Amino acid sequence: MPVLSIITINYNNKAGLEKTILSVCSQTDANFEFIVIDGGSTDGSKEIIERYRSKITVCVSEKDTGIYNAQNKGIANAKGDYCFFLNSGDLLANENVIKEIKQYLTVTDIVYGDLIIVDATGKKEELHSPEKVDAPHFMVSTLWHPTAFIKRSVFEKFGAYNESLKITGDYEFFIRTVLKHHVSTKHIAFAISIFDLGGISNSDKNNELHAKERKKSWQLNYSDAEIVAFEELTRHQRSREYKVRQLFKKIFNPFSK
């Protein structure tokens, strides 16, 4: 049984799919299974899959009901101890990521690292994940999905992705598992993957759906009273952090305002 299952979801993104496949195949440690779930693409993605079929352990190409339905298919086909999602268009940060991360894939439920984002102009920025992920963190952020190695047993015990959500299924999953059920987590301080922001819509409609689904993600797991308590805790923590930053400014630069 392999330690790791790398799962790639694709729909009509043949250029991104090929980049992702090449990134996975360039790893110096190839002891993993590679699963590609395609949503019945019509843009030539199937030809890309066939071109690299010998490198792909499992391939499913059929219509799905959305990204989380596709990701759940990936989990259902996985045999590895850990699942890692690297969807079409995303890349591993370098050719040694899998080799370096494997030493940490032992007992921890969710191992996560840092993320490199690329904007529409090609500018790169590395985002560092926190050492601790708690309610205040999830109130304002999330765990970046393409940096997270998730034990397959976590899906078996607490359920897979909620397919009623269109864009925050991973966010809800982390709230459910990390916060509600207290699965173990560990931050590894190096970049895992490169995420292209070019395909993300910034439309008002998309932002509205995102806000609505983030709220629903909390409501699926906590009562209104509990959510209010988390919001209050977040406000207090952010206020305290601001005061500490201001104090340090005065200590190290007494003439600053």
Q: What is the pLDDT of residues 86-125, one digit of tens each?
A: 999 999 999 999 999 999 999 999 999 999 999 888 899 9
In angstroms, rounded to a whole number, what is the distance separating the alpha carbons of residues 200 and 186? 28
Q: Which pLDDT does position 107 carry in this prediction?
A: 97
Write the class of the CATH domain 4-200. alpha beta
185: helix, strand or coil: strand
Mean pLDDT for the chain overall: 91
23-42 b/e (C-beta count within 10 Å ≥ 16 → b): bbeebeeeebbbbbbbbebe
- Burial grade of 247 (CB within 10 A; 0-12, 13-18, 19 or more): exposed
Q: Are 8 and 30 in contact (CB under 8 A)?
A: no
Residue of 54, 50, 31 lying closest to 41 (CA atoms): 50
pTM over 0.85: yes
How far apart, in Å, are the Cα atoms of 243 and each of 72, 140, 212, 219?
43, 19, 31, 31
| Terminal Cα-to-Cα distance of the chain (whole angstroms) | 60
Name the residue among 35, 128, 131 with its Cα closest to residue 75: 35
Confidence label for 204 from pLDDT (cuts 50, 70 and 90) = confident
Q: What is the pLDDT of residues 163-182, one digit of tens each?
A: 999 999 999 999 999 999 99
For residue 5, which phi and psi values (nearest 5 degrees)? -115, 115
Task: Band the pLDDT of 198: cuts 50, 70, 90.
Answer: confident
Would you state the pLDDT for residue 249?
43
- pLDDT at position 237, please? 75
Other Cβ atoms closer than 10 A to 192: 28
Please name the residue that has the structure tokens 């850990």: 82
Beta-strand runs (E) in the chain: 4-10, 33-38, 58-61, 82-85, 91-92, 110-118, 124-127, 148-151, 185-196
Sequence length of the chain is 257
- Other CB atoms within a 10 A radius of the CB of residue 47 amount to 11
When comparing pLDDT for 157 and 249, which is higher? Answer: 157
Which of residues 120 and 250 earns the better pLDDT score? 120
Tokens describing residue 47: 């030809």
